[in-house]
Structure 1
Amino acid sequence: MLNSGNCTDCTTCGSCQQTLNVDTPNLFCMNCQPSEAPCIKACRQNAIEVLGGAITINGEKCNRCGDCVEVCPINVIKI
């Protein structure tokens, strides 16, 4: 159960009711190794990048096609 006192409004855990900013793709993930991450492999725009060991979406490159959403093994990508 989510402790709302610990919430950072990241919207990636799926436990809260925060409204996503539809203009900015949301991802900060460390579940997959970058070399094996299906989202990176699926992105035809090369918009999914590794930043400090975490997988993130470059909002300037992302065309919001949703290919990464479909392959994410833990369903954390929000477009």
Structure 2
Amino acid sequence: MFKSGNCTECTTCGSCQQTPNVDTPILFCMHCQPSDAPCLSICKQDAFEVLGGAITLNSEKCNKCLDCEEVCPIGIIKIY
């Protein structure tokens, strides 16, 4: 069982849905259904993609406008 107090923000377990503090945005989120995900609808660059039911961010398309950070209902998106 995942315990948030033990989180090292490694992103390997997939339970915490944290993003590492790196220059390249990384995301693998399963909180919203793709049909309802605000990040997918707001991104003008179409940088968000659905991969196996998870929402991922294609960093090559991302222009770091931060619109997605503002609409994410759980605050998982952190663009550096």
TM-score, shorter chain, exceeding 0.5: yes
Residue 78 of structure 2 aligns with which residue? 78
Query: Structure 2 CA distance, aligned partners of 1:56 and 1:44?
Result: 15
Counterpart secondary structure, 1:2: helix
Q: One-letter code of the match for 1:60?
A: E
Residue 13 of structure 1 aligns with which residue? 18
Over aligned residue pairs, what C-alpha RMSD do you find?
A: 2.0
Query: Structure 1 CA distance, aligned partners of 2:39 and 2:60?
Result: 17
Q: TM-score, normalised by structure 1?
A: 0.80
Bigger RCO (CA 8 Å, 6+ sep): 1
Query: Structure 1 CA distance, aligned partners of 2:40 and 2:55?
Result: 8
Offset at residue 27 of structure 1 (A): 1.2
Question: Cα–Cα, structure 1 residues 74 and 8, in superposed 2: closer, same or farther, change >3 Å?
Answer: closer
Gaps of 5+ in 2: none
Q: TM-score, normalised by structure 2?
A: 0.79
Offset at residue 66 of structure 1 (A): 0.4
Offset at residue 26 of structure 1 (A): 2.1
Query: Structure 2 CA distance, aligned partners of 1:21 and 1:48?
Result: 18
Residue 5 of structure 2 aligns with which residue? 2
Residue 62 of structure 1 aligns with which residue? 62
Gaps of 5+ in 1: none
Residue 51 of structure 1 aligns with which residue? 51
